[in-house]
A = this chain, B = another copy of it.
Amino acid sequence: MDGRKRRVLEALIDDYIATAEPVGSRTLAKKYGLGVSPATIRNEMADLEELGFLEQPHTSAGRIPSDKGYRFYVDEIIRPAPLDDMQKERIRHAYQVRVRELHWFIHQTARLVSELTLYPSLVAAPPVKYTQLYDLSFIPLGRNTVLMVLRTTSGMVENQTLLLPEEFDAEKLSRLADDFTQEFRGLSMEDLKNRILDPLQGDISRYQGLWQLALKWATGQDGDEDKVSLAGPLNILNYPEFRDVDKVRRVLGFLEKETALEFVSRTESDGVHVVIGAESSLDDIQDCSVVTATYRLDGSVVGHLMVLGPRRMQYARVMSIVEAVTNELTRVLHG
């Protein structure tokens, strides 16, 4: 893999990312200053194909990158694309509203990323197992309504207004909440859930009416819609590889299903990662690449983010944006 092969590969992938058309030797010689003739490039391309970096859709077409080719491109060739001022500005301003609710951050981030990258983006909250109860309050709002406010040790607040199953006076509510906090503080939501489900500990019905509601809600038993946010799904329609409605259905279906959440949460390590085409071994996104990253909530608690696009994604640009956004998000979440 000498320097020239490298340059040919880079030029070819750049061109294919820009045009979505198979790239021929003539095009490469003309548009990129490689200093050699098409014939030479043809030889290099044949070598690169033999090495598995390129593929030929059919004999008389140009070449397109293989997964392996993209992999080399991502790992060895590209370097971070510096953000322009507009992008930096957008990122800096994104979190200036003073809201402190996790789902707001998630929503905001997903939108920001999809607007900057022009690809669909999905942001997931840290899995429940990582969030720990700090305290719970019941705030009476009326004779039969109560506002439950839950704080986690990472400083986030979740709340929900509920109809009471029976009547409580303010004092009783406050005592109930204090007892709840005392009993459960420091437990992760997963432990809470296990405690509910563990047959030795007795089932949830052991707990008093209001506690039941609180536990169910806290452990996300009735719907975690807030825990993940998808933005810009329609961006996918702008790329010619998704002219086919069936493909669109598969990919957007994937993003709306649980699968996407599982997939994005699978990454253990920090930093920006790239998964290319068949590397994911998920049928629905065989034609896609994914850039994932993590952010931190409290220095330790991690949430996940992903950008999904065609295999010929603008890797450098997307990776830089994702990195900048997750850094900023981690920074503001540390306040």
Contact = CB atoms under 8 A, between A and B. Distances in A.
Contacts of A163: 98-100, 335
Given A100-B163, A141-B151, A141-B157, 20 more contacts: A97-B222, A98-B162, A98-B164, A99-B161, A99-B163, A100-B162, A101-B161, A104-B160, A137-B139, A139-B139, A139-B149, A145-B157, A159-B159, A159-B161, A237-B248, A237-B249, A242-B245, A243-B245, A245-B245, A248-B248
B149 A98 contact: no
Contacts of A149: 139, 141, 147
A52 interface: no
A225 interface: yes
Interface in A101-143: 101, 104, 107, 137, 139, 141-142
Contacts of A237: 245, 248-249, 252
A99 B160 contact: yes
A39 B161 CA distance: 65
A244 B104 CA distance: 35
7 contacts: A98-B165, A100-B162, A139-B139, A139-B149, A159-B161, A237-B248, A248-B248
Nearest to A232: B256
Interface in A251-278: 252-253, 256
A157 B162 CA distance: 10
A83 interface: no
Contacts of A160: 99, 101, 104
Interface string A166-187: 0000000000000000000000
A234 interface: yes
A213 interface: yes
A288 B249 CA distance: 19
Nearest to A237: B249
A225 B100 contact: no
A234 B222 contact: no
A155 B144 CA distance: 11
Contacts of A242: 245
Interface string A311-331: 000000000000000000000
Interface in A202-261: 213, 222, 225, 233-234, 237-238, 242-245, 248-249, 252-253, 256
A234 B253 contact: yes
Nearest to A97: B222
A234 B213 contact: no
Contact of A161 (B157, B238, B248, B256): B157
A290 to B, nearest CB: 19
A93 to B, nearest CB: 12
Contacts of A98: 162-165, 213
Interface centre among A104, A141, A155 (most CB of B within 10 A): A141
A107 to B, nearest CB: 7
A260 B116 CA distance: 24
A247 to B, nearest CB: 10
A256 B234 CA distance: 9
Nearest to A101: B161
Contact of A107 (B99, B145, B162, B225): B225
